[in-house]
């Protein structure tokens, strides 16, 4: 077991900012790209530039197809309502649409921004370049009312079809107390019910072909195998699926809107509930983004503790996946055995944090408490315990021939398709593509740890499960290294904006006492700027795109979740499947509706 020395650790840096813009302008010289200004204060190292809305399609053509190593993945697409912004760059208009693109070959990201005025909220759709832009553009329309011209089917995605207004506009109230009391009179209820009726023609589906009448089966939002409130409408010929339409939004809680009215610190518990199986993994992304924005350096001990608890939650999440996957296929017992394993691990989490599934335990600048006395014994017992159990499950689940027949070559997609549709995490690695954020772009000291990135080769249901099982073993390896190499020292940074600041100083020093007082009364004030940070979360890459306007609250909180694009590609992989295959596929994708809808 190698020694982990965090002093050697270096966070990954994205390089070659200027050359990308140069490369683009060489290929297409009439493109007018504007660099970002100092006012915007973008502290992450993603190369960002502005383009005029009329040149967007031309730019996307260059970026997607003409460049030598093109940007093959639309990582995120979102918008910002700039109307109440205090720290404004001169070129800022009423709305900004932000495209976050990734090139796997170059291993760099770019961010393209387009300004729009309130008078003309129209923009060309980019669905022709990236298939997964479809849902992102629908979301932006739903939330901001920005119309994407030539979009295949621009309709509400997270809000109900009957909803009036666009919730993420600054003019839209965020609190129930700012609105009329909610009522649902019978006529309104009938209207809502009618809006949920599926209309195949609207989606370009036929009700019958030459030989058959198709059956439209409404799977969900309450169905045992959709893992939450998720609806998928199947167009079926007998038991075979001809086409399907996933319908999301039943779990939408407005987490992004809440980010605009919670202090930087009090938003942490909300992050726990984004991927509700990921626990502190969600905190991890958010606090890293805030720390980057505020320029806070986290002590080594906090880093290692963060890694250790995050990996514990990876195991917790994957164990639940493993059990429910088997259960979806009809094997009723494994989930019960795995819940026992989870229970043991939750016991450790409880000893550390006092909570179980949603500890909200990370803080800006560190963690809430130091590890309890005797934590080593707990962790070491578990590290010795789990691998043996995994060996048993191997025989019970993965070697079962009925299970193999149900999952091998079912729901398969290629690496190319995965990238095209924005799939990340185990779903991408199952196709044989070894890309793990912890390896490719290490953060928080992951570069010092020794672990492997498991991959599959077919990208089918069986491989997706296999990859996750191996990831659990790797997580155990990482936890063991944390155990053997836990650095001594403080567990939170000595920075005025960490919450709460170091107690000993506030007792002696007025300059520490005042920030302490301010921090606990209205929360830390984070300097104006913009940042994007991501981690390799349990389901894929989760990222927080934060914009601060120099206030105690975030100006815009964008949460890029992995499950959202994963569900979007369901129609692609489920065509031609039987219903039972779809259930296997849904189980193997491992999504969480809270993570999809936010």
Partner 1 sequence: MMPEQFWKILEITIMLALLIPIAATLVWVERRMIGIWQDRHGPNRVGPFGILQSLADLLKILGKEDWIPPFSDKIVFVLAPVIGAVCVLMSFAVVPFSPSIGVSDLNIGILFFLAMASLSVYSVVLAGWASNSKYAMLGGMRAAAQTVSYEVFMGLSVMGVVLLTGTFNLREIVLAQTDGWLIQSQFLGFFIFLVAGIAESHRLPFDLPEAETELTAGFHTEYSGLKFALFFLGEYLSVTLISAMSVVLFFGGWLMPAPLDTWLPPLVWFIIKIMGFVMFFILLRTSLPRPRFDQLLAFGWKVMLPLALFNLLVTAALKLSGVL
**Residue 144's Cα: distance from chain center in Å?**
20
The beta strands (E) that lie in 517-569 are given as 529-536, 541-548, 554-560
Residue 518 to residue 514: CA distance in whole angstroms: 6
Closest distance to partner 1 from the beta carbon of 338 (Å): 10
Between 1 and 405, whose beta carbon lies closer to partner 1? 405
Q: CA–CA separation, 135 vs 565, rounded Å?
A: 8
Pairing of strands 147-149, 33-35: unpaired
User: Please, what is the minimum distance in Å from the beta carbon of residue 437 to partner 1?
Assistant: 32
* Closer residue to partner 1, CB minimum distance, 195 or 215: 215
- Looking at the Cβ atoms of 214 and 491, the one nearer to partner 1 is 214
Nearest approach, Cβ of residue 414 and partner 1 (Å):
23
CA distance 341 to 364: 31
Smaller CB separation from partner 1, 14 or 398:
398
Q: How far apart are CA 181 and CA 436, in angstroms?
A: 47
Report yes or no: 559 and 539 within 8 Å, Cβ to Cβ: no
Torsion of Cα atoms, 314 then 315 then 321 then 324, to 10°: -150
Q: Could you tell me if 484 and 323 are in contact, meaning their C-beta atoms sit under 8 angstroms apart?
A: no
- DSSP 8-state code for residue 525: P
Nearest-approach distance from CB 385 to partner 1, in angstroms: 15
Nearer to partner 1, 234 or 419 (CB): 234
Smallest gap, in angstroms, from Cβ of residue 481 to partner 1? 31
Contact of 270 with 255, CB cutoff 8 Å: yes
Q: Which long-range contacts (CB under 8 A, 24 or more apart) does 32-38 make?
A: 33/59, 34/91, 36/89, 36/113, 37/89, 37/90, 37/91
What is the phi/psi pair of residue 383, to 5°? -60, -35
Q: Which residues contact 505 (CB under 8 A, 6 or more apart)?
A: 494, 512
* For partner 1, the closer CB: 177 or 193: 193
In whole angstroms, how close is the CB of 582 to partner 1 at the nearest point? 8
Question: Which parts of this chain interact with partner 1 (CB under 8 A)?
Answer: 215, 217-218, 223-225, 239, 326-333, 336-337, 340, 396, 400, 402-403, 405-406, 578-581, 583
Least Å from the CB of residue 539 to partner 1:
20
Smallest distance from the beta carbon of 325 to partner 1, in angstroms?
10
Shorter beta-carbon distance to partner 1: residue 326 or 418: 326
CB of 580 to partner 1, least distance (A): 5
Q: Is the CB of 265 or the CB of 406 nearer to partner 1?
A: 406
Give 147 or 578: the residue with its C-beta nearer to partner 1.
Answer: 578
Among candidate residues 279, 318, 309, the one with its CA nearest the CA of residue 483 = 309
**Closest to 122 (Cα-Cα) out of 40, 36, 48, 56:** 56
């Amino acid at each position: 077991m190698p020694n982990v020395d965090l002093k050697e650790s270096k966070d990954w840096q994205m390089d070659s900012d200027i050359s990308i813009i140069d490369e683009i302008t060489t290929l297409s010289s009439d493109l007018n790209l504007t660099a970002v200004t100092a006012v915007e204060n973008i502290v992450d190292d993603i190369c960002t530039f502005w383009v005029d809305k009329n040149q967007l399609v031309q730019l996307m053509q260059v970026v997607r197809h003409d460049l030598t190593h093109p940007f093959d993945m639309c990582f995120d697409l979102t918008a910002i309502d700039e109307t109440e912004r205090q720290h404004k760059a001169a070129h800022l208009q009423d709305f900004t649409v932000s495209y976050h693109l990734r090139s796997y070959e170059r291993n760099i990201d770019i961010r393209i921004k387009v300004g729009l005025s309130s008078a003309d909220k129209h923009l060309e759709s980019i669905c022709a370049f990236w298939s997964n832009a479809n849902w992102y553009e629908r979301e932006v329309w739903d939330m901001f009312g920005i119309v994407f011209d030539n979009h295949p089917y621009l309709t509400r995605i997270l809000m109900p079809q009957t909803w009036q207004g666009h919730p993420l506009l600054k003019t839209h109230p965020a609190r129930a107390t700012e609105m009329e009391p909610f009522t649902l009179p019978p006529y309104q209820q009938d209207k809502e019910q009618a809006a949920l009726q599926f209309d195949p023609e609207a989606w370009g589906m036929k009700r019958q072909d030459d030989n058959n009448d198709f059956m439209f089966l409404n799977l969900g939002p309450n169905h045992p195998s959709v893992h939450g409130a998720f609806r998928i409408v199947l167009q079926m010929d007998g038991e075979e699926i001809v086409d399907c339409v996933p319908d999301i939004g039943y779990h939408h809680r407005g987490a992004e809107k809440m980010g605009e009215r919670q202090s930087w610190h009090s938003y942490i518990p909300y992050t726990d509930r984004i991927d509700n199986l990921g626990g502190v993994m969600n905190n991890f992304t958010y606090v890293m983004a805030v720390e980057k924005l505020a320029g806070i350096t986290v002590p080594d001990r906090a880093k290692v503790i963060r890694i250790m608890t995050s990996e514990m939650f990876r195991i917790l999440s994957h164990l639940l996946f493993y059990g429910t996957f088997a259960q979806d296929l009809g094997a009723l017992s494994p989930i019960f055995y795995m819940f026992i394993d989870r229970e043991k691990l939750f016991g450790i989490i409880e000893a550390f944090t006092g909570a179980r599934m949603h500890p909200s335990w990370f803080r800006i600048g560190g963690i809430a408490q130091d590890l309890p006395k005797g934590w080593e014994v707990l962790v070491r017992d578990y590290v010795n315990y789990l691998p043996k159990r995994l060996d048993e499950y191997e025989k019970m689940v993965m070697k079962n021939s009925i299970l193999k027949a149900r999952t091998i070559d079912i729901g398969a997609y290629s690496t190319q398709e995965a990238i095209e549709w924005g799939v990340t995490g185990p779903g991408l690695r199952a196709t044989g593509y070894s890309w793990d954020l912890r390896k490719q772009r290490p953060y928080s000291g992951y570069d010092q740890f020794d672990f492997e990135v498991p991959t599959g080769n077919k990208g089918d249901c069986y491989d997706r499960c296999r990859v996750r099982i191996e990831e659990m073993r790797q997580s155990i390896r990482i936890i063991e290294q944390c155990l053997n190499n836990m650095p001594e020292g403080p567990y939170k940074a000595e920075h005025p904006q960490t919450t709460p600041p170091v107690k000993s100083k506030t007792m002696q020093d007025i300059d520490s006492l005042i920030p302490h007082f301010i921090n606990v009364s209205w929360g830390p004030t984070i300097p104006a700027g913009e940042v994007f940070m991501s981690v390799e979360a349990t389901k894929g890459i989760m990222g927080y795109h934060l914009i601060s306007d120099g206030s105690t609250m975030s100006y815009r909180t964008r949460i890029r979740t992995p499950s959202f694009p994963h569900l979007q590609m369901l129609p692609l992989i489920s065509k031609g499947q039987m219903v039972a295959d779809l259930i296997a596929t849904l189980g193997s994708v491992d999504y969480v509706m809270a993570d999809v809808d936010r």
